[in-house]
Amino acid sequence: MSEQQINAYSKMGWKLLPCHGIANGKCNCGDSHHDSSDAGKHPLLADWNKKSTGDLRTLNEWFGTNTENNIAVNCSASGLVVIDIDPRNGGDESFLQLESWLDGDIPETLTVFTGEYLIRGVKTRGRHLYFKAEEGDQFYRDFSKQGFKGIDIKFNGYVLLPPSKHVSGVDYTWDENLNPFKTSISSLSPKMRDLMVKKSNLTSHSNGLNNLNFELASKNEATESAKRELDKQVNRISMRTAKGQRNVTLNESAFIMGQYIGGGQISVPEVVEALTKAARIAYRGQNAEAEIASVLRLTGGALSAGSNSPIYDIEFENLETLEVENGTDEEFLKRLNLVNWREVWEDTSEEVWFVDGIICAERGHTIYSDPGVGKSLLVREFSACLATGKSVLGLAAKKPIKVLYIDHENIPKTDIRRSLVDMGFTWEELEQNFKLMSFPDFTPFDLPRGGQELKRALEIINPELVVIDTLSRAIKGKENDNDTWIDFYNYTGKILKSMGIAYIRIDHTGKNSDAGPRGGSAKMGDVDLVWHLKEVVTDKKYRLINEKHRVPLAQLEYKISRELLPLRHQLSGALDWKLYAIRSAKYEKIYREISNFMDTNPTHRNGLNSLFSALKDECKDLGVSRREFDRARKDYFDIQDEIAEFEE
């Protein structure tokens, strides 16, 4: 760094710290870094949070001309909060959606360009947007609850500053016009604060480690649920040996266990000792112990942050203390729902269907499809019709029921209102029984607190049907981790079933649309009916296929048509063969065009966009949509792969 840059940073009043640098494309710490994303980013100081400084003499020692150190800023100590946009995880697209959702209310501010990545064949750089943080603020870690992936919020840690070197081969650089030498840093807009700042004030409402009596927290006796969670996190840390993952994993595990500490469910020493032992398996290198200690520090770290969002034991729901001696044996067993066989045999009532043959009262359902098919639109119509007593799919109308729709995907004033208006609904019709929660601030439903928060909402609203749109937005764990779905059932699914409330989970397919919903094998274990919505004719014809049922079904497949004026879905007795014939003819023609083009241009790039661009005029002449073209292209290359494999 130049002396001029060091002087400029010193005058800003920010708290700075040195990190390992990049030399010859590698981290100069000497570690091989199995995952290069951690290279050049870890601090030189074990206690960087305390030693970060703006002192000019110290900065010259750290960043003078003879050093290769990268420079970072301690965000919270400097009064900064930074929005980190990672294009590798869809951050650019998510940021555009975030801007739209906030009606453009994101002020221009200091901006740094970070690493460079190849995204869909285009070189793209990440970005850091710097904003002022107000005293006492505590922030969420990202925007995942709102459905905006690839955007993190940096506050409790640090971010690298220009001219630090990135392992991708570029230097961190200030935006030409949005840098501290030409403009000033902006404050968060009110709308941004509503999304980013935690609602509770830490100093007045938190029971976290900052305010928690350490001696008391050190004497917490571990509950069974805390022990299970600690074992789970220890195994998770031990298995994640890639260096780029280890800090993230250890921070996440520390945050979760901090929640249990804050809830009085386990002691600080027990957690720190167990996580430290596990981390030593994953961490290597001369600075491993310092890095582990930095992550597991008791103030300003993940343990502290987690303790500010405590997870309480079963007493969270204010149940009476279980005192067997204060009640009879019969009363005790009744509370555990011991089945009376006589009552079961004498109850000859049949299943109650909200949507005949498809949605059943008191049962769990999954409806899934490929992206863009319209599963949310279909279930939204189901919900609105059931709430208002109108016909669903052209079937006989039934008595209205109360529906709670938990939406993590769609914007009420545009996406949802527009579709409901097109369906012919008015707000007066919907107000009584159609209860919509838009981007609700629930704790994830695979955590104990999330289930208890939902239970309280259910007791207040008293619905007969709950819809979760989309399921992946309502969980914290990984979709491919079976423990996620076991936890979802234990903490949330059981509550819904025990209260006799039907639920629909809206979900996506995996990489192979015929392999079922994406996620671990335990994902469908708690639901009673699984329906796969398949598109037959684009935006017009669909098949609703049952893939699992625990109740007798008269029919395992339904043909559904979508009408536009008004917008509605109807059961159809048979496929519209005229439309099907037209679609088949178009398919054959565009398939032939693809085949002829590749025969005459065998070296042409065959990616989705490049091939479509080459045949755009032919598609227009044939009236072929992009989706129809993509299907024909996929089928063509699948067949070519099979031919090549056979010839080998």
Where a domain ends, among 199, 234, 269? Answer: 199
Is residue 342 one of the residues assigned to a domain? no
Q: How far apart are CA 71 and CA 10, in angstroms?
A: 12
What percentage of the chain carries pLDDT values higher than 70? 86
Most confident among 5-9, 430-434, 625-629 (mean pLDDT): 430-434
- For residues 11 and 158, membership in a common domain is answered with yes
- The pLDDT value recorded for residue 381 is 97
- For residues 259 and 390, membership in a common domain is answered with no
Instruction: Please give the DSSP secondary-structure letter assigned to residue 489.
Output: I
- For residues 554 and 592, membership in a common domain is answered with no
Q: How far apart are CA 543 and CA 536, in angstroms?
A: 7
- For residues 72 and 175, membership in a common domain is answered with yes
Sorting pLDDT into bands at 50, 70 and 90, what band is 501?
A: very high
- Stretch among 43-57, 353-367, 455-469 having the lowest mean pLDDT: 43-57
| Cβ atoms of 237 and 249 closer than 8 Å | yes
Identify the CA nearest to 630 among candidates 606, 600, 604: 606
Is residue 34 one of the residues assigned to a domain? yes
Is residue 335 one of the residues assigned to a domain? no
Q: How far apart are CA 27 and CA 12, in angstroms?
A: 28
We report the CATH number of the domain holding residue 459 as 3.40.50.300
- The pLDDT value recorded for residue 366 is 94
Where a domain ends, among 527, 542, 575? Answer: 575
- The pLDDT value recorded for residue 326 is 46
Judge residue 371's burial from the number of C-beta atoms within 10 Å of its C-beta, 0-12 exposed, 13-18 middle, 19 or more buried: exposed
Domain count, the chain: 4
Q: How far apart are CA 361 and CA 527, in angstroms?
A: 13
- For residues 385 and 246, membership in a common domain is answered with no
Q: Is the dihedral of CA 40, 44, 50, 56 positive or negative?
A: negative
Q: Evaluate if residue 333 carries a pLDDT over 80.
A: no
Name the token pair of 609: 């966009």
Task: Determine if residue 532 is left, alpha or beta; phi over 0 gives left, psi from -120 to 50 gives alpha, anything else beta.
Answer: beta
How do 186-187 and 173-174 pair as beta strands?
unpaired
- For residues 89 and 31, membership in a common domain is answered with yes
Per DSSP, what are the bridge partners of residue 124? Answer: 117
Q: Evaluate if residue 572 carries a pLDDT over 60.
A: yes
Q: How far apart are CA 199 and CA 171, in angstroms?
A: 37
Alpha helices in 240-356 (DSSP H): 243-262, 268-282, 288-295, 302-307, 329-335, 341-346
Is residue 206 one of the residues assigned to a domain? no
Structure-model confidence comparison of residues 200 and 542, the more confident one: 542
Is residue 486 one of the residues assigned to a domain? yes
Is residue 570 one of the residues assigned to a domain? yes
| Cβ atoms of 315 and 264 closer than 8 Å | no
Per DSSP, what are the bridge partners of residue 355? Answer: 359
- Stretch among 145-159, 208-222, 272-286, 481-495 having the lowest mean pLDDT: 208-222
Sorting pLDDT into bands at 50, 70 and 90, what band is 360?
A: very high
- For residues 304 and 364, membership in a common domain is answered with no
- For residues 421 and 514, membership in a common domain is answered with yes
Structure-model confidence comparison of residues 480 and 619, the more confident one: 619
Q: Across the chain, what does the average pLDDT equal? A: 84
Q: How far apart are CA 246 and CA 241, in angstroms?
A: 6
239-275 pLDDT, tens per residue?
Answer: 755 555 667 788 888 888 988 888 888 988 899 889 9
- For residues 521 and 628, membership in a common domain is answered with no
- Stretch among 204-213, 281-290, 608-617 having the lowest mean pLDDT: 204-213
| Cβ atoms of 636 and 599 closer than 8 Å | no
Residue 80: C-alpha distances to residues 73, 157, 182, 253, 536 (Å): 9, 10, 18, 25, 51
Q: How far apart are CA 108 and CA 264, in angstroms?
A: 43
- For the question of whether the overall pTM of this predicted structure is more than 0.75, the answer is no
Collapsing DSSP states into helix, strand and coil, what is residue 525? coil
Q: How far apart are CA 182 and CA 178, in angstroms?
A: 7
How many Cβ atoms from other residues are within 10 Å of residue 310's Cβ? Answer: 20
Q: Evaluate if residue 363 carries a pLDDT over 90.
A: yes
Based on its alpha-carbon atoms, the radius of gyration of the chain, rounded to whole angstroms, reads 28
Is residue 321 one of the residues assigned to a domain? no
- For residues 600 and 477, membership in a common domain is answered with no
What lies within 8 Å, CB to CB, of 184 at 6+ separation is none
Identify the CA nearest to 153 among candidates 237, 70, 94: 94
Residues in the chain: 648
Where a domain ends, among 148, 173, 199? Answer: 199
Helix, strand, coil percent values for the chain (each to nearest 5): 45, 20, 40
Range of the domain at 556: 353-575
Is residue 270 one of the residues assigned to a domain? yes
Structure-model confidence comparison of residues 125 and 207, the more confident one: 125
Sorting pLDDT into bands at 50, 70 and 90, what band is 377?
A: very high
- For residues 545 and 563, membership in a common domain is answered with yes
Q: How far apart are CA 284 and CA 31, in angstroms?
A: 8
Name the token pair of 26: 């590698």
Per DSSP, what are the bridge partners of residue 165? Answer: 171
Collapsing DSSP states into helix, strand and coil, what is residue 27? strand
Q: For 289, list phi and psi in degrees, rounded to 5.
A: -60, -40
What lies within 8 Å, CB to CB, of 422 at 6+ separation is 564, 566, 567
Longest dimension (CA), the chain: 88
Sorting pLDDT into bands at 50, 70 and 90, what band is 574?
A: very low
- For residues 16 and 48, membership in a common domain is answered with yes
- The pLDDT value recorded for residue 8 is 86
- Stretch among 136-145, 354-363, 533-542 having the lowest mean pLDDT: 136-145
Judge residue 237's burial from the number of C-beta atoms within 10 Å of its C-beta, 0-12 exposed, 13-18 middle, 19 or more buried: buried
